[in-house]
Amino acid sequence: MSKVNVGIVQLSCDVDPERNLNGAIREIQYAAGQGANIVCLPELFRIPYPCQAEDHGWFSSAEPVPGPSCERLGEVAADAQVVILASLFEKRAAGIYHNTVAVIDANGQYLGKYRKMHIPDDPLYYEKFYFTPGDLGFQVFPTRFGQLGTLVC
């Protein structure tokens, strides 16, 4: 196996999910150009972190996983030849939402997802208002660059 380089993306996110997605894509391309094989996006990168207040308005930003963001990121992954770990606000069904990481291989294929299981509820971390605990357990995803296991988060 060849050397694996991980790129960690930091973004300043605003209320426009499309602008944030486009910014993430630019950063993925930059990281790939710097030699990254695996690129990790920030938690819930398409929106500002919503959990510092209980606001029903953020639920409209949730999407299915896989869904539109995974499709766009799949194209970027294939073009840049990188694995992408993308944290998304997943709408599983009416009233059921998750903090989910989608895993996209370097060929653009969606490999699966991990739903965050430990959901804190502390001052300025009102995640239980937004997210249902994950139900998929810890998983291993076989990628072009080796096996990626889910982390305890």
List residues with catalytic annotation: 43, 116, 153
State the DSSP string of 133-147: PP-S---EEEETTEE
Gyration radius (Cα) of the chain, Å: 15
- Biggest CA–CA distance in the chain, Å, is 46
Q: Report CA-CA distances (Å) from 20 to 14, 94, 136.
A: 7, 25, 27
